[in-house]
Structure 1
Amino acid sequence: MNDVKLKDYDTKLEETNAVPWEEWFAEMAAFREEHNNCLVPHGYKTSNGHSLWHWVEKVRRDYAEGKVSEEQFQRLDKLHFIWDMEDLRWETGFSELQNFHDEHGHCIVPKGYRGKDKKFPLWLWVATQRDYDGVYPRDKFHRLDAINFVWNIREYEWERAFGQLEAYKAENGDCLVPEKYMVDGDLDLGAWVVKQRADLHFNFLSQDKMQRLNDIGFSWAATEGSPLIVMMPNDNTESPKSSL
C-alpha cells in the first residue's frame, strides 16, 4: 500500500468516529443477524451509507492498540466479531462449512472441494482443524460440534462401513460380501471387508472392533468353509500372503 493510499485508508478509519459507537454496534449486530457471521466484505456499506468495513478495520486496530474497552470487547465477542487475521480465516472456513452442511446435511467435505465461490479450499481447512496441534479452542470446538463436525475421519468411515455391513447381513443372512460391492454411493464394502481380515492378521484391528464384527457373525475366511487366508493385492493380482 503506497503512502497516498495508506493516508486515505487512515482517514477513512478516523472518519468512522463521526458516528457513535452504539450506532456502529447496532449495524454490526444487524449484519450478524442477517448473514450469521461477522465477515464484513471489503468496502461494504450499510443501507444508510455507513462504511461498516472501515469501522471493523478501525475496531481491529483499536483492539491491537489496547483502545477497546472491556465492555465493548465482550459485546462484540458475543457476536463472534473477528479480531485478527487468524480468526478471519477460521471464521471464513466455518461459514463455508456451515453452507456445506446446510446443503449436504453433513460435514464430510470431499478432497479438493472448494467453497461456493470455488476459491476457498474448504477440504484443506477441515483437515487442518482435525490435525490441530495442541488444545483446540473451546468456543470454536463447541461451534463445530454443534453442526456435527467429524473430528476422527477414520473412525467415522469405519462406523459407516460397519453400519452398511449390518444392513448387508440383515438382507443376505451372512457377511460374505462379494468383491467390488458398492453401497451408499461410493463405499466399496467388499474391499472394506477384505481390509478387516488383513487388519486382524497384522494386529491392526482393535479388540473392540473385532468383537463387534464377531457379534454380527463376521466371516474371517474369504469364503464359507475356506481356511483363514488373508488375500492382499500384489500388482494387478491377488495372492495369499499367509494364513492365520
Structure 2
Amino acid sequence: MPYGFKEGPFPLGAWVAEQRRAYGAGQMTGKRAQRLEKLGMVWSVADERFQEDLEAAKAYYADHWRLCVPRSATALDRPVGQWLSNLRRPGALGDRPEWRTALEAVDEDWAPAWSAEWPRHFAVLRELVRDEEGPAEVLPGFTVHGMDIGRWLARQRKPEVWAALAEGQRERLEAIGVTPLPVTVHPELPPGAGSTSPAKTLSAFDKGAAALAQYKARTGSVKVPRAHVEQLPDGTEVKLGVFLSNTKSRRAKLTVDKLATLAGLGLEWAATGGAA
C-alpha cells in the first residue's frame, strides 16, 4: 500500500507504515499483530517482494536451467534479469544472507565468479547429460538456446583450455563426466636426424592464456601491470602485461575460441567485444 494512500479522509497508508514500525520495534501486542495478519498484513515489504521475484526466478530456471541470465530476461511478467543483476552488486546482500541461501538453493552459479557465458553453456550441458552413463558426449553443432554446446564442450577438453579453467569450473565438469583430452606427447627424434630442438607444443597465445590463468590463481585479479613478466612452471617467461595489451588491441581479429578463452578467464572486453 502506498504511504500516501487514503481510505476516504483516513491516511491508511501512513497508518499501516506506523504499524510495521511498531511491530519491528517490539511495541505491538500479540493480539493486534494477529488481527492484522488475518487481514494479510505483510510485515516486511522487502521480504515479500523478494519471494515474489524468487518465484519468477524459479520459473525462469525451469525453462533455461540457470539463473546466470541476461539483464533483459523476464519471467511471470517480472524483470528477473535486472533483479538478479541488482542482487549481484557488491554489498547488495550484506544484511540478507537468507536471500543468498535461497538463490543458491535454486542455482549455485546464480552469481558466478567467472564470465557469464561459461555457466550458461555448462547449465545446458549438465541437463543434456544428466541421465547418461559414462563420459559426457555432445557433438559439435548441437545447439540449444542459440549456443553450440558440442563445440563448447570440445573446447573445454583441450589441455591448454582445461589448465586455464578455475578450480570450480573443472570440478563442475568432472562431476558430470567431462575430462580433459590427453596431452599429445611428441616422440624424440633419433640422434642426428634433423633439428634437435624440442617440438613446439604451445602457441604464443596459449602461453599467454596459461600465464594469465596462473597470475589470476595467485593474485585473484586479471589486472596485470604492463611491465609484468610471468614465469610458467617449465621456466618459460611470458611478458604477460604486453601480451594482454597487444591482444586487446587486436581483439577484432581474434577467433571466437580465443575470445571465449579470455572471457572465461575474466576479461570483460573479450566477452563483450568492447573495452573494459
TM-score range, shorter chain: 0.3 to 0.5
Specify which structure has the higher proportion of strand. Answer: 1
> TM-score of the superposition, structure 2-length normalised?
0.42
Specify which structure has the higher proportion of helix. Answer: 1
Query: Whose RCO is larger (CA < 8 A, sep 6+)?
Result: 2
